[in-house]
Amino acid sequence: MSIKLEHVSYTYMPGTPYEKEALKDVSLEIHKGEFVAVIGHTGSGKSTLVQNLNGLLHPAKGTASLDGVDLSGKTNEAKLARGRIGMVFQYPEHQLFAETVYEDIAFGPRNLGLSADEVETRVRDAMKFVGLDFETYAQRSPFSLSGGQMRRAAIAGVVAMNPDYLILDEPSAGLDPGSRNAVFAEIMALYKKRGIGIIMVTHSMEEAAKYAKRMLVVYKGEVILDGKPGEIFLKEKNRLLEAGMDIPEVYKLADALRAKGLRLPYEITDAKR
Ligand code: ADP
């Protein structure tokens, strides 16, 4: 099972003075069960890339498909394929809307046409999964929760859809370290226990190195690097710097690697910090 982009380009506001080619001829394949980090500077094209990966945006050129089904299609098959790729947007708690946590999480499964019992099972499972106690929180207003709990409720809404792939846009943005760890624990559980394919946009190279097995580096609308985070950090420092990645993080990683007895193939002296 895989999501495949073949020569995908995407242009915002084509034919206007504001025309912006945000993706240029991107080809790649992501399999179910992979954990892929997408990193890049602000404006590099990460959001455009992931929205093409889940069929929210349709390529101007090229194709995006899931198991051979074109994600931009209008058929029922295409709709079902899009439904298998969940998306957690940046600050997903801003999209909470219902009067109770239960109603919020139930919204998606209900739209799938499941029975009331099946919907309840999905809500209970999803809440358990993200560590929100059903008895305590199901009937509370989502807006009465803490920031970290709100984000977990929002993630539960996507988990309740039982997706095969989950795309997360900056899942830790704006969270304190405790909530951040809780959210990552859930994401890792989805990846490890349910075998969901995870695609995570982040601008933190540390997060990419810590959690992902594969990293895509986006620069000016192109995927300039695609490989194991450790190898990219070791071998591609210059291209990472070129892509505008935060230099201090490169140094932190160098230190972390050294602590494990690994060495970077170039010298970083204290004087350069
Ligand atoms: P990132 O997620 O890496 O910050 P985006 O994919 O959001 O990057 O943006 C890529 C480029 O496309 C940027 O130059 C951005 O200004 C432009 N862009 C993004 N969304 C729109 C839009 N809705 N209309 C016009 N230009 C856009």
In angstroms, the Cα distances linking 96 to 143, 144, 204, 245 are 8, 11, 26, 32
Amino acid present at 4 = K
For residue 208, the CA-to-ligand 1 centroid distance in Å is: 21
* Domains annotated on the chain, with CATH: 6-18+25-84+164-178+201-250 (3.40.50.300)
pLDDT of residue 197: 95
Tokens 């046409």 belong to: 113
pLDDT of residue 87: 93
What percent of the chain has pLDDT above 90?
Answer: 67
Alpha carbon nearest to ligand 1 atom 21, residue: 12
CB atoms within 10 A of CB 192: 12
For residue 70, the CA-to-ligand 1 centroid distance in Å is: 23
Cα–Cα distance between 59 and 25 in angstroms, integer?
A: 10
pTM beyond 0.90, yes or no: no
DSSP states of 57-68: S--SEEEEEETT
List, for residues 49-105, the tens digit of each pLDDT value.
999 999 999 999 999 999 999 999 999 999 999 999 999 988 888 889 999 999 999
Cα–Cα distance between 150 and 181 in angstroms, integer?
A: 15
Tokens 């210059």 belong to: 238
pLDDT of residue 265: 53
Q: What is the average per-residue pLDDT within 19-25?
A: 97
The candidate with the shortest Cα–Cα distance to 5, out of 69, 52, 73, 57, is 52
Cα–Cα distance between 83 and 101 in angstroms, integer?
A: 22
The response to whether residue 38 sits with its C-beta less than 6 Å from ligand 1 reads: no
- Cβ neighbors of 177 (< 8 A, separation 6 or more) are none
267 pLDDT higher than 80: no
Alpha carbon nearest to ligand 1 atom 12, residue: 22
pLDDT of residue 99: 96
The response to whether residue 40 sits with its C-beta less than 6 Å from ligand 1 reads: yes
269 pLDDT higher than 50: no
For residue 31, the CA-to-ligand 1 centroid distance in Å is: 26
pLDDT of residue 271: 35
List, for residues 175-186, the tens digit of each pLDDT value.
888 888 988 998
List, for residues 143-175, the tens digit of each pLDDT value.
999 988 999 999 999 999 999 999 999 998 888
Q: Answer yes or no: is the ipTM higher than 0.90.
A: yes
270 pLDDT higher than 50: no
Of the listed ranges 113-117, 158-162, 195-199, 258-262, the least confidently predicted one is: 258-262
Per the document, the length of the chain is 273
